[in-house]
Amino acid sequence: MENWGLVTYRTSALLVSMYSSSLSNRKRVTTVVAHELAHQWFGDIVTMEWWDDLWLNEGFASFVENIGTDYAHPEFKIWETFLDSENSMLFVDSSYFTHPVEAVITDPKSIDTLFDSITYDKGSSVIRMCYEYLGPNVFMSGINQYLTQYAYGNANNSDLWTVLRFANIDISFL
């Protein structure tokens, strides 16, 4: 569980041995740590405006967990796992019971329904598509602007798209 400046874990979610822990357990611990650390920025420094935009917090944290895991342990081949999750999510997303990543929440009782593979995995897939479409430099420039502009405040879906749109404007002619 992340809190601004502090991440708490269950012992089972943190302690592993290179010698006695399974590969899947070591991957899980690495991704959980990376995910919760990502929330220091996406969720804590910049917080969603309302539950409709939960995917911003969880989609970014899920995307960044893969970047962090790949950096720390390239042997895990985490992007292959990402594609497996994406394929599973697409199956769920094609069902009658799906919802958009930006879901309209009018009743606090329905908030819990958003903590699912659509919010985490589809949200992360949307972020990765933006990364691939814009390219690493433009994407990171836009995310840097997003985190700077909305630091210690709230942002919504439209705020992200606006920042990314302006990050993609070529001003090299100036």
Cite the active site residues: 36
| Strand partners for 48 | 155
What are the two backbone dihedrals, phi and then psi, of residue 23, each rounded to the nearest 5 degrees? Answer: -60, -45
Residue matched to tokens 């992360």: 124
Residue matched to tokens 């969880």: 58
Instruction: Give the pair of three-digit tokens for residue 122.
Output: 């589809």
Q: Return the closest-CA partner of residue 80 out of 120, 132, 27, 39.
A: 27
In whole angstroms, what is the distance from residue 138 CA to residue 134 CA? 6
In whole angstroms, what is the distance from residue 91 CA to residue 133 CA? 23
| Strand partners for 155 | 48
59, 101 Cβ separation under 8 angstroms: yes
Q: In angstroms, how far is CA 148 from the centroid of its own chain?
A: 18
